Structure 1
């Protein structure tokens, strides 16, 4: 290797591996796919080894590429942290804060935290990524994540906000009038339940608890969805019983289109947490976002900030 790769080349390489796509990596980097492809051919030529397997439909790392990206990832994150540390001496937060959470949490944050943050810190850009699955925020390059407390990895620093969450079982008045009201979780076996498919492809089993007694029910029914807001809508249409975050059903309940059942089996649980790794520098932009969450926390209704799906 006569000429060392540039930092831009290496950062572009890691972006391609992260996205498994020249096009998406190019969009992130603000380059054209042809320019990015040319950079990678130059990188491979300088290193004297093929790093990427390319087809017309996909791109993946070779064994050498896998080994390189495994070492590059931590090094580039440390470099980012070193550069972010300099922000402490600037006039205010700047840069981009990347947060992974669910789409329903993002919609709630758009009501309050996001407008307040962007108004106060115009030099910071928020990159909010909705993802139904629980990702490794360090490996995937996020500054922080937002999930239910029980889903936060134990080695993370967690900042609770928004109060407790609650999931409730709901059905339309017409459905209850026709099929009757379940009085215990076991009664659900005789009902049409609207099931939830998790991002992993597995069907979610409904979880109940009352006075220390825990019951998990593998419900059945003719309809399966992968979105709790759609589940509430289907239940309001009389298609069955749904198990959803309380705030998703609130409007339907106020309108009289849904009623809660099995309420004494649906206790509150720990709510949302913003979490981040404690072993690296916390960007000033992320610290500022945490401050905004704490500032408006008392103004938020706990039921308005539940996660998008149970135990996700």
Structure 2
């Protein structure tokens, strides 16, 4: 910043009472120092130094200006230092919306790990299976399954290979049997997600690249993905959940996968924001951290 540098040259010259000494201390030529002082006097509109053959002496206006300059340079130096430190050590607030199920059971723990690495960050989390309005709600970024329908939103992949999986508790399958076909699935109690007046009872699968939609029925609907998972764990029916949501339950044997001969629906997870300008260094670092954690989690 040329203006800031000119002020520093002015302060050093006043301190040394010599243009050549100031130039020497600041590792610049006397001509460059002289040009800086002339430029500053022109901008201020006042003579700052009385020049003699041996030294320089501040004018009355120069003495007044020096006090303000020292304060201004101090504040600017502190500001630049704070910004530089902030780039090396993340600060500020990240406002994040995430689905209730994987949010509570997976991502909160991963975010705790991230914050332990960056203790000066503050994170404000909104847990909801409803889609946060990125333009009107106090949310910077959101974790969402599937590409956003709003093409103006920016979507960065977190878990691109994630899919849905049919699953039920061992107790439920022992009591009601394991469906092996779509026709058999239709006879089972299916645990469905609901949002407002919309019932998500049309489950999408694929067969040889062609989409297959199954209309299922059941006696339990919830607007919270965690509730659907808990019903499945309690043996109340069959759920069609994101693999991220139930991976630990499957590994532990609390839930079992159900194969009806169809390929499951992809369920890629994205970090979504309203504009690329939102993606500052700390959000980019969080995105990379979560993507790495999700990759290893699904592969384990």
Matches within 5 A, 1:1-312: 89-92=83-86, 93-107=90-104, 108-116=106-114, 118-151=115-148, 153-198=150-195, 200-205=196-201, 206-262=203-259, 264-267=261-264, 269-278=266-275, 281-282=277-278, 284=280, 287-295=281-289, 297-301=291-295
**Could you tell me how far apart the structure 1 residues matched to 2:97 and 2:216 are?**
30
TM-score normalised by L of structure 2: 0.60
- Closer, same or farther: CA 174–143 of 1 in aligned 2, 3 Å: closer
- Closer, same or farther: CA 113–232 of 1 in aligned 2, 3 Å: closer
**Could you tell me how far apart the structure 2 residues matched to 1:304 and 1:100 are?**
22
- Closer, same or farther: CA 265–175 of 1 in aligned 2, 3 Å: same
- Note the residue ranges of structure 1 that are not aligned, 5 or more in a row: 1-85, 306-312
Contact kept? 1:167, 1:268, Cα under 8 Å: yes
Contact kept? 2:191, 2:220, Cα under 8 Å: yes
- Note the residue ranges of structure 2 that are not aligned, 5 or more in a row: 1-79
Relative contact order, higher structure (CA 8 A, sep 6+): 1
TM-score normalised by L of structure 1: 0.58
- Closer, same or farther: CA 277–221 of 1 in aligned 2, 3 Å: closer
**Could you tell me how far apart the structure 1 residues matched to 2:297 and 2:200 are?**
21
**1:215 aligns to what SS in structure 2?**
strand
Q: How many residues are treated as equivalent by the alignment?
A: 215
CA-based RMSD of the aligned residues comes to 3.1
Larger Rg computed on CA atoms: 2
Deviation at 1:137, TM superposition (A): 0.7
**Could you tell me how far apart the structure 2 residues matched to 1:235 and 1:94 are?**
40
Report which stretch shifted further, 127-136 or 166-175.
166-175
**1:111 aligns to what SS in structure 2?**
helix
After superposition, give the CA deviation of every residue in 1:262-299 in whole Å (9 maximum; x if it has no partner): 364243625221122337x4364xx3132233146334
Deviation at 1:134, TM superposition (A): 1.1
- Closer, same or farther: CA 159–249 of 1 in aligned 2, 3 Å: closer
